[in-house]
Amino acid sequence: MDYPEGNQALAKLRATFPDSIIEVKEFRRDITVTIKKEALLSIMQFLRDDEELRFNYLASISGVDYLKIEGVENRFAVVYHLYSFKNNCRLAIKTFVTEGSLDIDSVYPLWKTADWQEREIYDLFGIIFKGHPALKRVFLPEDYEGHPLRKDYSLEGRGERSRFDYEEG
């Protein structure tokens, strides 16, 4: 596995979690580390709490649907974008969930800012964040069926607009 030279975070991750790292990619000096989902909380806590690294800012969490993308084994990914103020350094951590098991550990216990971001991914992709204190829909009604950011969701919707009870103003 090739790691960009001189990257302290990658060297420490490789030394501490050698069996949990699946892949490392660098694109335009941005580094993405793909990990096994079972190691997510351990790795994230390590990156946050390590005195030399201090990735103490969770900038964003993104859901990705890889439906019909060749070479991708699992359909959904969750990508965490971290930043270290101490080192002025960014790092993305990616992990996959399978269509048959759409659950992943919540990082809310580590970063409270994960609250709405995980709820948004749950609402629009259907990925379930285990341990989240209030995992419920953010944009859509609780009884709404489907997840609109999935690539197999109809572009015209599924008749939802005619079922919404709203007043024109």
SS3 163: helix
CA distance 77 to 132: 18
DSSP letters spanning 9-74: HHHHHHHH-TTTEEEEEEETTEEEEEE-GGGHHHHHHHHHH-TTT---EEEEEEEEE-TT-TT-SS
Domain ranges of the chain: 8-156
Pairing of strands 89-97, 30-35: parallel
Give pLDDT, residue 165: 60
pLDDT in tens, 7-50: 889 999 999 999 999 999 998 888 999 999 999 999 999 999 99
With tokens 């960009």, the residue in question is 4
pLDDT in tens, 108-156: 999 999 999 999 999 999 999 999 999 999 988 888 888 888 887 766 5
CA distance 147 to 127: 10
DSSP letters spanning 62-127: EEEE-TT-TT-SSSEEEEEEEEETTTTEEEEEEEEEBTTB-EEE--TTT-TTHHHHHHHHHHHH--
Give pLDDT, residue 56: 95
Model pTM above 0.75: yes
| Domain 8-156: CATH class, spelled out | alpha beta
CA distance 107 to 40: 8
